[in-house]
Amino acid sequence: MRDAGVVAATLIGSAAVIAAAMVFVLWRMHRTRRVTVIDTVWGAGFAAVAVTGLAITWNGDDNALRALLAVLPGVWGLRLAVHLGLRNRGSDEDRRYADLFERHGGATVRTAAVWVCLPQGVGMWVVALPIMLAQASTAQAGWWLVPGMALWLLGMYFETVGDAQLARFRADPANRGRVLDTGLWRYTRHPNYFGDACVWWGIYLCACSAPIAALAFLSPVAMTWLLARGTGKPLMERHLDDRPEYAAYVRRTSGFVPLPPRD
């Protein structure tokens, strides 16, 4: 384990990067009255945190684990940021945030700071803890990388392919108001969210090569809860209930973990 100063510098440096990202979101909110940009910042922020941790802890030694824990969240985060940035470009405020502003007094910077940026910033720091702790250690890559990389690859497949299938479906005007139930969406109503969860369990397992990082097990638990029970699946499905085909789709299709459809 590195000295306490390196650990503290990594944790504080990552917090500073996340705080700067949230200040950017609030600046955009002030200019556009929309906070949807935080979806793009969410992915890019994790990539920035991972690279920041590598920059703070790198001392010229040949540490593959430290570099890998910059690459894995970096690739995931940048892909997600580009995907959501392109998807949301020129669109109206996301319905999740519009509903939140309606409940809490309107689309103000203060409301965005308290109800969007603060919880997402704290969540980002907590989820990134295994990365920071492993990068701040002197541990080398171990056998944990085998299951970790397998889960990361599985998650990237589900997320990338699921997003591509949904984008093609939405691009066809004939599908307006319909429900996508083919491809990966035949086996789970949220292949992208399932993929996200797998990615972060994979990153956590890779980080476990450093024993201190294993203590941060709340990281993948928190990410999975956010996706399956928090701001992911439940809020998304709330806005789909009015589609005529959706009730039948829910009855036959797993809500999160891919399973054979109940035909």
Of how many residues is the chain composed? 263
Question: Position 243: which residue type?
Answer: R
Evaluate whether 219 touches 200 at the Cβ level (below 8 Å). Answer: yes
CB–CB of 168/92 below 8 Å? no
Q: What share of the chain is helix, strand, coil (3-state, %, to 5)?
A: 75, 0, 25
Q: What is the Cα–Cα distance from 263 to 201, expressed in whole angstroms?
A: 31
Supply φ then ψ for residue 113, to 5 degrees: -65, -45
pLDDT for the residue numbered 70: 95
Residue 96, pLDDT score = 84
Please state which of the ranges 11-25, 83-97, 116-130, 157-171 shows the lowest mean pLDDT.
83-97
Mean pLDDT value across residues 180-192: 95
What is the chain's mean pLDDT, rounded? Answer: 91
> Percent of the chain, pLDDT > 70?
98
pLDDT of amino acid 178: 87
CA distances for 25 relative to 45, 95, 136, 252, angstroms:
11, 17, 28, 39
pLDDT tens profile 43-68: 999 999 999 999 998 877 768 899 99
Instruction: Please say whether the beta carbons of 83 and 56 come within 8 A.
Output: no
Tell me which of 187 and 235 has the higher pLDDT.
Answer: 187
Find, among 192, 222, 7, 247, the residue nearest to 122 by Cα: 222
| Gap between the terminal Cα atoms of the chain | 53
Asked if pLDDT for residue 229 goes beyond 60, the answer is yes
- Those residues whose C-beta lies under 8 Å from the C-beta of residue 50, and which sit 6 or more positions away, are 69, 70, 71, 72, 73, 74, 77, 128, 131, 135
Compute the average pLDDT of residues 30-45: 93
User: What residue ranges in 5-137 does DSSP mark as E strands?
Assistant: none
Query: What value does the mean pLDDT take over residues 181-204?
Result: 96
Task: Band the pLDDT of 237: cuts 50, 70, 90.
Answer: confident
**How many angstroms separate the CA atoms of 47 and 156, rounded?**
15
> What whole-number distance in Å separates Cα of residue 151 and Cα of residue 161?
15
List, for residues 69-109, the tens digit of each pLDDT value.
999 999 999 999 999 999 888 788 888 888 888 888 888 99
165/159 Cα distance (integer angstroms)? 10
Quick check: 246 pLDDT over 80?
yes
Q: Is the pLDDT of residue 2 over 80?
A: no
Q: Residues 201-224: what's their mean pLDDT?
A: 94
Q: Is residue 22 helix, strand or coil?
A: helix
Which residue bears the tokens 């056998």?
143
Please state the separation of Cα 28 from the chain's center in Å.
Answer: 21
pLDDT computed for residue 1 by the predictor: 53
Q: What is the pLDDT of residue 89?
A: 86
Burial of 173-184, coded b for 16+ CB within 10 Å and e otherwise, reads eeeeeebbbeeb
Q: What is the mean pLDDT of residues 148-165?
A: 97
Q: Output Rg (C-alpha) for the chain, integer angstroms.
A: 19
pLDDT in tens, 111-145: 999 999 999 999 999 999 999 999 998 888 889 99
